[in-house]
């Protein structure tokens, strides 16, 4: 046999394996949808979509995802990178340098207190190392920013089954921040990592929200449990988690409505959703979605949610737009939980696990 023949045989074997894996996955998904539909019909909830005959589009692998997203990250954070570059390019290390460094950080949404602390930490290191050329500050600033974002925080998502029940992710946040979109992208990401995912459309306030989630379900090849418009969101969440339990899925992701009617109303609604879900399975992850372009204002609103439910992580969206990357430092400081996911566009694969060093290096790129 010559090399070409071997190659042809080899490719054929690979192709067959991929097809078998794909078909068995599809068959599994189709089975799940059918039995979930039976469960849900009893209670009047609706399960969509009928994915059995829809092609399942696999999401992009994580590595190429990060690489593709890097350019957008640096694009959005040029202002900070350029500002810092100007500071590092000065002739002498004098008070003006420290002032400019502080102002640059504040303008990048880092927050006033954090900016002061960061500058102080940089000053101490610069003194200890007898740095006199502002250019030598670059590495110091990089290290201090990495420390400020804290690479030691656990940023993994609790999305594994435990005992006999699925993990449950509750997605909360102000309307328009990107909850619906982030729920859909996350479903796609987890499904591509071979998780059995089920979505719950508990944002019953807006009819379009459930429709959008059904579309995301189709894109991810995962079933969606939805209720009628105006249905009690807690009951839809309950149906979704029940269907997830009965069908042995790995993770149920529940999208919620985020109208800040009154703070008490919001707290009541979210704590009721959580309480009702936990009749079936513990909520393992409460993700707060924050729109990075809203800066410090968005942070004030987001804090209301932190008071309403015990947060475990943050999804920071729209970092591809006019957002200033420094907001990540302010968000973590104010809310006391790590940023776990970043949204970098409107496309189905524009969601990435947050990675501190990559992020800081992009921040520092002019
Ligand atoms: P919700 O009201 O919180 O559920 O927000 P949606 O998920 O409906 O999103 C509101 C808008 O923000 C939509 O137009 C989304 O496409 C957009 N969006 C969400 N995430 C991102 C992101 O990471 N980048 C950009 N550029 N747009 C986003
Ligand atoms: P408005 O009178 O037009 O301002 O509307 P309301 O704020 O009174 O809302 C109309 C209905 O929707 C009321 O029954 C509210 O309880 C309900 N509602 C308001 N915000 C939310 C929300 O975020 N989620 C859910 N599920 N219901 C909401
Ligand atoms: Mg929504």
304: tokens are 């209301």
**Stretch 302-314: mean pLDDT:** 91
Q: Are 44 and 225 in contact (CB under 8 A)?
A: no
Largest Cα separation within the chain, whole Å, is 75
Ligand 2 pocket test: pick from 180, 231, 237, 261 the residue with the most ligand atoms within 8 Å of its Cβ. 261
**Stretch 255-259: mean pLDDT:** 87
Q: Where are the beta strands (DSSP E) in the chain?
A: 46-48, 167-172, 197-202, 224-226, 251-256, 285-291, 313-317, 339-343, 351-353
- Lateral strand order in the sheet of 224-226: 46-48, 224-226, 197-202, 251-256, 167-172, 285-291, 313-317, 339-343, 351-353
Q: Which of 5-19, 79-93, 144-158 has the highest mean pLDDT?
A: 144-158
**Stretch 71-95: mean pLDDT:** 81
Q: Which fold has domain 77-149?
A: 1.20.120
User: Would you say the CB of residue 185 lies under 6 angstroms from ligand 1?
Assistant: no
Please tell me the distance between residue 261's alpha carbon and the centre of ligand 2 in angstroms. 7
User: Would you say the CB of residue 72 lies under 6 angstroms from ligand 1?
Assistant: no
pLDDT bracket for residue 82 (50, 70, 90):
confident
Closest CA to 314 of 195, 191, 172: 172
Judged against a pLDDT cut of 50, whether residue 325 lies above it is answered with yes
CA dihedral 115, 119, 120, 125 (to 10 degrees): 140
DSSP 8-state assignment for residue 59: P
| Residue range(s) occupied by CATH 3.40.50.300 in the chain | 167-363
Please tell me the distance between residue 230's alpha carbon and the centre of ligand 2 in angstroms. 9
User: Would you say the CB of residue 318 lies under 6 angstroms from ligand 1?
Assistant: yes
User: Would you say the CB of residue 291 lies under 6 angstroms from ligand 1?
Assistant: no
Q: What is the mean pLDDT of the chain?
A: 85
Closest CA to 36 of 257, 217, 232, 211: 217
**Stretch 208-236: mean pLDDT:** 92
| Residue range(s) occupied by CATH 1.20.120.140 in the chain | 77-149
Instruction: Tell me if the pTM is above 0.85.
Output: no
Judged against a pLDDT cut of 70, whether residue 340 lies above it is answered with yes
**Stretch 113-129: mean pLDDT:** 97
**Stretch 227-235: mean pLDDT:** 88
Among all ligands shown, which has an atom nearest to the Cα of 289?
A: 1
Ligand 1 pocket test: pick from 181, 202, 349 the residue with the most ligand atoms within 8 Å of its Cβ. 181
Q: Whose CA is nearest to atom 16 of ligand 1?
A: 346
* CATH architecture label of 167-363: 3-Layer(aba) Sandwich (3.40)
Question: What pLDDT, on the 0 to 100 scale, is given for residue 81?
Answer: 87
Judged against a pLDDT cut of 70, whether residue 145 lies above it is answered with yes
């Amino acid at each position: 046999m010559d090399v070409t023949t071997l190659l042809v045989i080899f490719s054929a074997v690979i192709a067959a394996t991929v097809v078998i894996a794909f078909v068995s996955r599809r068959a599994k998904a189709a089975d799940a949808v059918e039995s979930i539909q039976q469960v849900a019909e009893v209670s009047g909830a609706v399960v969509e979509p009928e994915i059995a005959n829809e092609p399942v589009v696999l999401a992009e692998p994580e590595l190429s995802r990060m690489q593709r997203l890097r350019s957008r990250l640096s694009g959005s954070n040029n202002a900070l990178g350029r500002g810092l570059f100007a500071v590092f390019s000065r002739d002498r290390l004098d008070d003006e340098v420290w002032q400019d460094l502080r102002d640059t950080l504040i303008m990048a949404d880092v927050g006033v207190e954090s900016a002061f602390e960061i500058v102080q930490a940089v000053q101490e290191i610069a003194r200890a190392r007898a740095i006199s050329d502002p250019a030598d500050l670059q590495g110091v600033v990089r290290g201090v920013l990495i420390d400020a974002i804290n690479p030691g925080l656990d940023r993994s998502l609790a999305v594994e089954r435990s005992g006999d029940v699925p993990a449950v992710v509750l997605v909360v946040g102000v309307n328009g921040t990107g909850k619906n979109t982030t729920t859909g992208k996350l479903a796609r990401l987890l499904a591509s990592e071979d998780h059995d995912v089920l979505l719950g459309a508990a944002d019953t306030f807006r009819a379009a929200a459930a429709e959008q989630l059904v579309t995301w379900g189709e894109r991810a090849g995962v079933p969606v449990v939805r209720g009628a418009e105006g249905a009690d969101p807690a009951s839809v969440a309950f149906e979704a988690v029940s269907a997830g339990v009965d069908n042995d899925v790995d993770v149920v992701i529940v999208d919620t409505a985020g109208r800040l009617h009154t703070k008490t109303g919001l707290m009541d609604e979210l704590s009721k959703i959580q309480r009702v879900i936990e009749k079936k399975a513990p909520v393992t992850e409460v993700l707060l979605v924050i729109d990075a372009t809203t800066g410090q204002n968005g942070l004030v609103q987001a804090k209301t949610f932190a008071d309403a439910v015990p947060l475990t992580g943050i999804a920071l969206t729209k970092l591809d737009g006019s957002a200033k990357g420094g907001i990540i430092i302010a968000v973590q400081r104010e809310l006391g939980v790590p940023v776990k996911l970043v949204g970098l566009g409107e496309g189905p694969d524009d969601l990435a696990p947050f990675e501190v060093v990559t992020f800081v290096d992009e921040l520092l790129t002019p």
